[in-house]
């Protein structure tokens, strides 16, 4: 396991900060981070030794920074706004433009895997993004709230099948269902916007199901839940949040559980191969 020095490709939200804290707790001596204007939280600077700021799309400069600082192992944590692939290559360096033109499609997995391969061609290993945060992976079983009702179990089972279907196509990892009907499907808008949309469409009583992709590459784009997810679920009238156990990162667990219990939201970790 990496202990002396690690590079951090830091996307948005709290994942990079949480990772940096966990890496320190595991004894990592030096963390060299690359952050992106308009994406990465400035707070990250408090938890790393170096924080280099780049524009999204400066792939060559990012690799140059890691090589110059002697980094040979990196992690990619936190999402980068996927709308980058819809732009007319404004702000992208020539290396990334060439990479994107070679792709068979521009799905998130395709783009991220190609970037990972490009990094590794430079002798830099892209590590499992959960390398230091295994304790934050959602467990199987009831996490908060009472056991699910029969109707709720039915919706969770239905939602898992639907979520695995869209995740397998690399569309998204989250669906919202109600009464065995799909209310909202995650795409580029992300989980929080999907939950908000479900509230406008179906009102209260919905079930959120979040899963990993069938062949999830744990180096990037792992499913994540945090306090913001629950806050949006409260506003949307969600009654159940089901997470794929063993593959979903669970941040701010105590705060999430407290907020869920106060608002009668049940959270459960499920095995996608089993029926509740």
Taking only the tens place, the pLDDT of each residue in 234-257 is: 999 999 999 999 999 988 889 999
pLDDT for 124? 96
Report the number of distinct structural domains present in the chain: 2
DSSP per-residue string spanning 144-209: ESSPPPHHHHHHHHHHHHHHHHHHHTTS-SEEEESSSSEEEE-STTHHHHHHHHHHHHH-SSEEEE
User: Mean of the pLDDT values across residues 258-264?
Assistant: 96
pLDDT, mean of residues 149-154: 97
Above 90 in pLDDT, residue 105?
no
246 plus 142 within the same structural domain:
yes
In a domain, 141, yes or no: yes
Of 126, 147, 166, the one marking the end of a domain is 126
In a domain, residue 32? The reply is: yes
Q: For residue 83, what are the contacts with CB-CB under 8 A and spacing of at least 6?
A: 188
- Residue 276 belongs to some domain of the structure: no
* HEC string for 34-45: EEECCCCCHHHH
The Cα–Cα gap between 276 and 271 comes to 9
pLDDT at 1 over 60: no
What pLDDT shows up at residue 176? Answer: 98
Residue 275 lies in a domain: no
Q: Helices 108-120 and 59-68 meet at what angle, rounded to 10?
A: 40
Domain assignment of residue 201, given as a range: 137-270
248 phi, psi to nearest 5 deg:
-105, 130
- CATH number of 64's domain: 3.40.50.20
Q: What is the CA radius of gyration of the chain?
A: 19
Q: Residue 76: pLDDT band by 50, 70, 90 thresholds?
A: very high
Ranges assigned E (strand) in the chain: 5-10, 30-36, 50-54, 73-77, 125-126, 141-144, 174-177, 182-185, 206-210, 224-225, 238-244, 249-250, 266-270
Q: Could you read off the pLDDT of 119-137 as tens digits, one per residue?
A: 999 999 999 999 999 989 9
Burial category of 42 from C-beta neighbours within 10 Å (exposed 0-12, middle 13-18, buried 19 and up): exposed
| Same domain as 266, residue 145 | yes
Domain end point (choices 103, 126, 149): 126
- The residues with which 266 forms a beta bridge, in sequence order, are 240
Beta-carbon count within 10 A of 65 CB:
18
**36 and 153 co-located in one domain:** no
86 vs 227, residue with greater confidence: 227
* Position 131 in a domain: no
The domain that holds 145 is classified in CATH as 3.40.140.80
Residues 258 and 189 in one domain: yes
Last residue of a domain, one of 75, 93, 126: 126
- Of 73, 65, 76, the C-alpha closest to 28 is 73
Same domain, 178 and 252: yes
Kindly state the tokens that stand for 15: 């994942």
Residues 117, 143 within the same domain: no
Mean pLDDT of the chain: 92
- Signed CA dihedral, 114, 106, 221, 24: sign only: positive
């Amino acid at each position: 396991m990496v202990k002396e020095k690690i590079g951090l490709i830091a996307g948005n939200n709290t994942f990079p900060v949480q990772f940096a804290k966990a890496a320190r707790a595991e004894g990592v001596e030096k963390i060299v981070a690359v952050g992106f204007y308009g994406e990465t939280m400035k707070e990250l600077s408090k938890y790393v030794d170096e924080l280099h700021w780049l524009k999204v799309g400066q792939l060559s400069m990012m690799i140059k920074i890691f090589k110059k600082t002697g980094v040979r192992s990196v992690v990619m944590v936190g999402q980068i706004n996927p709308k980058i692939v819809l732009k007319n290559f404004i702000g992208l360096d020539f290396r990334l433009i060439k990479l994107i033109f070679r792709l068979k499609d521009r799905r998130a997995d395709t783009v991220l895997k190609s970037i990972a391969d490009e990094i590794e061609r430079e002798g830099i290993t892209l590590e499992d993004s959960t390398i230091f945060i295994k304790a934050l992976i959602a467990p199987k079983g009831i996490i908060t709230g009472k056991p699910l009702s029969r109707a709720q179990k039915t919706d969770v089972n239905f939602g898992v099948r639907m979520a695995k279907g869209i995740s397998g196509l690399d569309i998204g990892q989250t669906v919202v269902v109600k009464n065995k009907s799909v209310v909202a499907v995650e795409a580029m808008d992300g989980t929080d916007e999907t939950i908000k949309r479900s509230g406008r469409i179906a009102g209260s009583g919905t079930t959120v199901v979040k899963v990993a992709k069938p062949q999830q590459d744990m180096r990037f784009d792992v499913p994540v839940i945090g306090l913001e997810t629950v806050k949006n679920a409260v506003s949307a009238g969600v009654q159940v949040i089901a997470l794929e156990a063993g593959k979903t990162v669970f941040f701010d667990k105590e705060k999430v559980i407290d907020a869920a219990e106060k608002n009668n939201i049940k959270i459960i970790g499920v095995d996608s191969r089993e029926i509740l």
